[in-house]
Chain A
Amino acid sequence: MRLALKLISVTVLGIALVLAIDTFASVRRDITLFNADARHDSQVLGSAVSTMLRDVVRGGGQARALELLREVNAAQPSVELRWVWLGEPGEDPSQPQVSSKELEPVLKGENTLLTAKNHSGQECLFNYLPIAREGQRLGVLEISEPLTHLEAEHRAFILREALVMAGLIAFSGLAAVVLGAVWVGWPLSRLIEKVRCVGRGDLASPLRIRGRHEFGELALAINTMCGQLAESHEKVEREHAARIRTLQQLRHADRLTTVGSLASGIAHELGTPLNVISARAKLIAEGEVPQDEIPENARTIRAQAQRMTTIIRQLLDFARRRPLTKTQVDFREVADHVVDLLSPLARKRGVTLSLDGGAERLSTRIDLGQMEQVVTNLVVNAIQASPPGGAVVVALGHERARPRADPTAAATDYVRLSVEDHGTGIAAEDQPRVFEPFFTTKDIGEGTGLGLSIAHGIAQEHGGWIEFESEPERGSRFSLGLPMVEGALADDPSTGFQGNDNHERGGVR
């Protein structure tokens, strides 16, 4: 609306200026034409009357000439003809209305035409024509025509032009207000509203501005743009939904795989003892076992049931991982404790177990019980993989590394514990499955295949990792990495190693 007003104001001002210039030029031209006309008329009249007057003066004298002038004056009301004397003014009151200085050419006998003010102060056209010389003075015919009516005409003309201009401005103003509102203001306000809608994310409601003008085209373009935007928006949403669906399917498939491997693991671990229990019980029930063998059969059944109970408890542990209760400890103490705890087992199997590493403090924030379970698992695996006479070396240290879960993150300090054996190693085809639940290469009764899987999970929950290198028949090295923390250990006595009974949970899986 304001834009429309400005546009129309500038246009109207332009038109008014052109009109004013035109009016001015017209007035100037009119004045010039009128002056030329008046001069011509005056010259024609002057020529006719002066000729007559000269004849009359020669024939009858001045009185007759004055008589004639009176008659002419009566016949020509718009002009005044007078007899005036130039040169010696004398007594005669017939003086010219124009100053004698301007009339010098007349004294020389020339007709003189000029514009000047008369006695009443009116602008007049004067024509002086010499008639007869009488001694020192010259009788001259003075024809004067007032130009006042011309001025009036010009005023009327200017007034008319001013009125036209005023009308034009009024009309333009009205047009600016009405048509500007209809043609510009309304579509603009619709456009602004539409743009705000788009800003709010509403792409659906179309912009309704009809017509072949620019606003119509703009509306069409905006509607098309909104359509395309909505379409690409929809496409992006569809793709996003599809991606999420795919991810969910992948996760589902992943869960199914885990469930599948868990199920077959459970089947394997529970199938054998179930078979033994069921068959033994049946033998007893059918009286096929001699009386003296029944207690032994019952003991077997009980042992198999206990085996199943252990497996199920481990499974539950695996499924319901306990929340971490972290305390700040020197990791060296964890390693010391586990090595102490497992030395008897190593001796029993003829394996040398040693702890290697400096004396520096390796501060970590860990769940002591769960982390002991992890280290115990790694060491027991190494002992079990070693042949009699073999050696298992537990090494401690620290390194600067990037977290395995996010290789783009900044490198930080990690405590590193490695357990190395020179045992059977892990076959290349088994290596990718090492952390799978229920995957085991151990003999029956030595492991369920849950231990490393649980240890791996615990390490990950601590922001760390377990990785391994292994060569069949040459041995394996499992490494545990855990984030190292700065600062002294807390004074909280519960964080100390003594008096902690968590090691009971650090069983071998």
Chain B
Amino acid sequence: MINPGRERDDRGRVLVAEDDVEMRRLLAQSLRKDGYDVTECGDGFRLLDKLGDRLLAPEVLKHEPADYDLIISDIRMPGVTGLSVLEGTQMFEGFPPMILITAFGDEETHARAEQFGAVAVFDKPFEFEDLLAKVHEVLAATPHAKH
């Protein structure tokens, strides 16, 4: 499996899942401007698609290098929610860390996101600088640059 991100030794590979087209474009644009390799998808099912075989056999593939270094996902999306993806993946090794974006920023959502290991939760509307700073902080701490 050839991933275009692998060929560029840039600042990191980010998967953006957001169903609002404008929001997704903006996120992708901002991240690319900062030098990240961005992959976009518009709903929960496509997000699961991108995670690929790892979802089917997480234990087997846990030592395989991941395709992405970070996932930024909206919580409410058609199909599968970002929170469900978080809950389904973070208990296994080998999945990239997740930053969640939500408009229903209630305490319960934050608590669940934290419980299942989200790196950060951003309530809409948020400052893009804060999100970019967080992305930078997370990717600086992960060993993606070795690839």
Q: Which residues of A are in contact with B by a Cβ distance under 8 Å?
A: 264, 267-269, 271-276, 278-280, 282-283, 288, 300, 303-304, 443-445
Contacts and interface: CB of A to CB of B under 8 A. Distances in A.
B19 interface: yes
Nearest to B128: A279
19 contacts: A264-B103, A264-B104, A267-B123, A268-B103, A271-B124, A272-B22, A272-B23, A272-B124, A274-B124, A275-B26, A275-B124, A275-B126, A276-B22, A276-B26, A279-B26, A279-B128, A280-B26, A282-B128, A300-B22
B125 A275 contact: yes
Residue from the set B22, B30, B128 with the largest chain A CB neighbour count within 10 Å: B22
A304 B124 CA distance: 14
Interface string B104-143: 1110000000000000000111101000000000000000
Contacts of A300: 22
A141 B125 CA distance: 157
A452 B117 CA distance: 36
B125 A274 contact: yes
Contacts of B105: 267
A264 B128 CA distance: 21
A271 to B, nearest CB: 3
B142 to A, nearest CB: 25
B76 interface: yes
B124 A267 contact: yes
A496 B124 CA distance: 47
Contacts of B52: none
B33 interface: yes
A182 B28 CA distance: 105
Contact of A268 (B22, B43, B76, B78): B76
Given A271-B103, A274-B124, A283-B30, 18 more contacts: A264-B103, A267-B103, A267-B104, A267-B105, A268-B103, A268-B104, A269-B103, A273-B22, A274-B125, A275-B23, A276-B22, A279-B30, A282-B128, A288-B33, A303-B22, A443-B19, A444-B20, A445-B20
Contacts of B19: 443-444
B110 to A, nearest CB: 13
Given A264-B104, A264-B106, A443-B78, A271 B22 contact: no
A92 B20 CA distance: 170
Interface residues of B, number: 19
Contacts of A443: 19, 43, 78
A444 B33 CA distance: 26
Contacts of B43: 443
B107 to A, nearest CB: 11
A269 B103 CA distance: 8
A450 to B, nearest CB: 15
B103 A272 contact: yes
A444 B76 CA distance: 9
Contacts of B125: 271-272, 274-275, 278
Contacts of B23: 272, 275-276
Ranked 10 nearest A-B pairs via Cβ: A271-B124, A268-B103, A271-B103, A274-B125, A275-B125, A276-B22, A443-B78, A444-B20, A279-B128, A272-B20
Contacts of A445: 20
A426 B12 CA distance: 40
Contacts of B103: 264, 267-269, 271-272
B129 to A, nearest CB: 9
A304 B126 CA distance: 16
Nearest to B122: A275
Contacts of A280: 26
Residue from the set B20, B106, B128 with the largest chain A CB neighbour count within 10 Å: B20
Nearest to A445: B20
Contacts of A282: 128
A445 B43 CA distance: 14
Contacts of B26: 275-276, 279-280
Interface string B1-20: 00000000000000000011
A423 to B, nearest CB: 14
Nearest to A304: B22
A271 B123 contact: yes
Interface string B69-96: 0000000101000000000000000000
Nearest to A273: B22
A308 to B, nearest CB: 11
A499 B75 CA distance: 46
A274 B128 CA distance: 12
A267 B124 CA distance: 8
Contacts of B33: 288
Contacts of A268: 76, 103-104, 124
A303 B20 CA distance: 13
Nearest to A269: B103
A203 to B, nearest CB: 53
Contacts of A271: 103, 123-125
Contacts of B123: 267, 271
Contacts of A288: 33
Nearest to A301: B22
Contacts of A274: 124-125
Contacts of A279: 26, 30, 128
Residue from the set A271, A273, A274, A280 with the largest chain B CB neighbour count within 10 Å: A271
A285 to B, nearest CB: 13
A444 B101 CA distance: 15
Contacts of B106: 264
A93 to B, nearest CB: 151
